[in-house]
Amino acid sequence: MTETPLTTKHTVVVPASINMVSLLGPGDEHLSLIEDSFDAEVHVRGNRITFHGDAGEIALAERLVDEIVAMLRTGQGITTETVERIIAMLRQETTERPADVLSLNILSNRGRTIRPKTLNQKRYVDSIDKHTITFGIGPAGTGKTYLAMAKAVQALTSKQATRIILTRPAVEAGERLGYLPGTLSEKIDPYLRPLYDALHDMIDPETIPKLLAAGTIEVAPLAYMRGRTLNDAFIILDEAQNTSPEQMKMFLTRLGFGSKIVVTGDVTQVDLPGGTKSGLKVVEGILEGVEDVSFNRLTSHDVVRHRLVGKIVAAYDEFDARSENGVQQAQRRVAKSREHHS
């Protein structure tokens, strides 16, 4: 005899102060998403939402409504993307409330607010607050550099740091600076362009040249860090997978008093010449357990670009895993064949 799943019915009464259109979405977009995401029937009448179905699913759906209500009470707009992110967090069964994660303001500029959009992003941002050296490791689009930049600008504006230093190793797609045309600044610019782009989102563009001229913000290749001690600075090393172990050590030992370091990179996108180890790949084994150093991993679930980017990253991860598995199986077959013939 098969057991029927426990079904239940429950009605949530949404506070009268909450606009139901904001909660349910334009054209009931959010409502449709809720119906698709939970194993339960959903009926809305006025400000009453009734769920009927699996008891566990109804409990999650009710929590979703609570989180949306909590965010609407803070004056935040709710998008379909926001609802998807809340559902993903609720499914992870974490102790953090999604509304708290998605309501954390890092920086506001020209009417735009920068916030973490996933649980791992919130933990990464919290780690930057708590530690002197933080590593953010993950694929493209997970916000690891963007959020670090936002924290740097926040530290500068709140006088926690007197300057921001942004640096990258100038090794990408096999090009060397010496072979590129133009002056040194023109040669460097393509490598540092993404950092300038992020700065323009966070600081009024007309003030950026003044801050650069004054040295309050410095954007330079990693080679320019050698021999310096960086005090009272917020220092970001981006694309750190393209450092050698020696360069990584050189960079980390630039740390001066009153400074913070954030190192970001993607260990699956190493552009170093063949045979050169990535400093980002080996550093965790070296610094693991060292006090005040934190390693944070972001995944395809934390991609905050177009939703298709997350799916593309996940598909590549799956393909790489299958390919690696295939290679291992082939190696095992060769080894067995050798044993058989010996």
CATH number, residue 81: 3.30.1370.10
Q: What angle do CA 12, 18, 22 make, to 5 degrees?
A: 100
Q: What pLDDT is recorded for position 311?
A: 79
- Number of compact structural domains in the chain: 2
- For CA atoms 314, 269, 253, 161, the dihedral sign is negative
d(CA 320, CA 323): 5
Q: Please measure the distance between the N-terminal and C-terminal CA atoms of the chain and give it in whole angstroms.
A: 56
d(CA 6, CA 152): 50
pLDDT at 305 over 80: no
Q: What pLDDT is recorded for position 110?
A: 65
Q: What domain range is 78 assigned to? A: 7-102
> Has residue 322 been placed in a domain?
no
Locate 273 and state its tokens.
């010449």
Nearest residue to 86 via CA among 153, 37, 20, 35:
37
> Has residue 87 been placed in a domain?
yes
pLDDT at 268 over 70: yes
Confidence of residue 179 (pLDDT cuts 50, 70, 90): very low
The pLDDT > 70 percentage for the chain reads 88
Please, are residues 222 and 229 in contact by the beta-carbon 8 Å criterion? no
> Has residue 314 been placed in a domain?
no
Quick one: 300 and 230 in the same domain?
yes
Quick one: 145 and 290 in the same domain?
yes
Q: Which tops the pLDDT comparison, 223 or 134?
A: 134
Quick one: 63 and 146 in the same domain?
no
End-of-domain residue from the set 50, 71, 102: 102
Q: Rounded to 5 degrees, what are φ and ψ at 217?
A: -120, 130
pLDDT at 226 over 60: yes
> Has residue 329 been placed in a domain?
no
Please, are residues 71 and 21 in contact by the beta-carbon 8 Å criterion? no
End-of-domain residue from the set 78, 102, 126: 102
> Has residue 311 been placed in a domain?
no
Quick one: 201 and 79 in the same domain?
no
Quick one: 158 and 278 in the same domain?
yes
Q: What angle do CA 94, 97, 103 make, to 5 degrees?
A: 135
d(CA 76, CA 68): 9
Strands of the chain (E only): list them. 7-13, 40-45, 48-54, 107-109, 112-114, 133-137, 163-168, 217-221, 233-237, 260-265, 293-297
End-of-domain residue from the set 102, 136, 167: 102
Q: What is the pTM of this model?
A: 0.75
> Has residue 317 been placed in a domain?
no
